[in-house]
A and B are shown apart, each in its own frame.
Chain A
Amino acid sequence: MAATQAEADIHLDGVSKRFGDMTAVDDLTMSIPRGSFFAMLGPSGCGKTTTLRMIGGFEDPSEGKVFLGGSEVTQLPPYKRDVNTVFQSYALFPHLSVERNVAFGLERKKVGKAEALKRANEALELVQLGHLGKRKPAQLSGGQQQRVALARALVNRPRALLLDEPLGALDLRLRKQLQIELKRIQQDVGITFVHVTHDQEEAMSMADTIAVMNGGRIEQAGSATELYERPRTAFVANFLGISNLIEAKVTGDQRVATHDGVALHAPECAGLIGDVQIGVRPEKITLILDGEPVPDGSNVLRGKILVAAFLGVSIQYVIQAAGGEELTVFAQNTDGTEAFGAGREVQLVWKPEHTFVVQRG
């Protein structure tokens, strides 16, 4: 989170939210830089919606402060906050036509009716629904309703747009299409997007910055690459892709030993001591048959192939490591040779810098 509080569009300072004795959001501090596409990623129930609702003004924080554009808004009602929400359920007004839905915010801001309708129709053009302005929301498909909800928020040109699982109700194909469209629109209008999702692929493909949430806290925030290549917790490692975690101990400077005693080189383990887990992403591992030479300085584990599945672009292996854990390996299908068969003894080889280390949790 590079932005300082002053240049952040949205800043949360020690925000907590409790429902009864249940803590939904736990002492959360974060800054969302102006104009960024910020994703909040986490499993269902981790507090994403609650966080978003506190930014939008629908929930009062039990503790902490909310800032928009540098000024505190903690006590302001939603209609006095310069952010707009795209609700997961869309929440389109069923009694108003599509264009009147989109014009609703502008009309409240005392933009003249004609001008409001004109801008509403421009916003509908932006989401490619210019021709449907006269319809009622119930006459639109789910994907179209989603776009109307987006247009209805965007047309107000708010400081930030809050999107709560905006694509969650759509089928996969439509979701992929709208992901690209959302990203395009965000780049066009330059408004800060805060996008809540539990879909890691969605977060990784769209966001500049991802905050991974768990149990009401942010586990780690950063770019998709950072989170994927250098996760700092086992939760983050597991939530973003396959992580191949192995129990280990720090034995010295950049040195770790797995629980079954294999010494490995781990440049990333600085600052960590004692029990840790090391991990390596499946596509970083090369398989070399037992007894054949491995490149100097590599990390090597031994194992036996349990499953080899040919996927076309790659071969997915499930390998039982000598230490007992099942590890996944993706071998790029670059030369079109036959996969190693199940039962073969292999060496799993990877470069030390691809090793990530997390504290045992």
Chain B
Amino acid sequence: MTAAIVSLDHVNKWYGPHHVLQDVSLEIGKGEVVVICGPSGSGKSTLIRTINALEPIRDGKLLLNGVDVHGKGTDLNKLRQSVGFVFQQFNLFPHMSVLDNVTFAPIRIQKRPRAEAEALARELLAKVGLAEKADSFPGFLSGGQQQRVAIARALALQPPVILFDEPTSALDPEMVGEVLQVMKSLARDGMTMVCVTHEMGFAREVGDRIVFMDQGRIVVDTTPELFFDAPDHPRIKRFLSDVKGEH
């Protein structure tokens, strides 16, 4: 395996008395697409939010590109520029045009020249199929379009890894496909991706590994083939039949 971009080593986290992450260890290599799934409340969101330090951890070690994310002297603002994050609720800035949403980080945070940032932004918007919406405002876009803009925004810093927290769960069914399409093309381009998602078709098609979580623990970490074709854990069987029932 190539050098790990993300590495969690016995990470623990509590919410009050609630032990939400229990001894979680995970290595993600360059170019890997890792799908995290599991029942609701099992700690998936919490897990990927610790990777860019949106959530603090109690103990354990978490390295991102070799940098200790939760270390004392770590410059979080700098670190977060090297990891994209896509939210379930898109969280586009409604007071900025689509183009300004995508150029926000390059111009305001990285202080890159506007012309250069805009050129890159237009390129990214073309890539997610929204070139013609650059001057529109998020309020005019459908959920699927907003999520694609959010992906472009996360890509604008050209991070080596990008995290997705249920990017299609807030979407109407007919819009799920367009977002998955964009994610698949990213995966084929060799992007390192950590995706919390219930889209099992996506997992089977582009996932390199499936991580199944339950009650704050990683229960299984395996390949899609083994996960889907020979689930050897009763919780996974139940989960898979639940997910199938949804569709």
A and B: bona fide binding partners: no
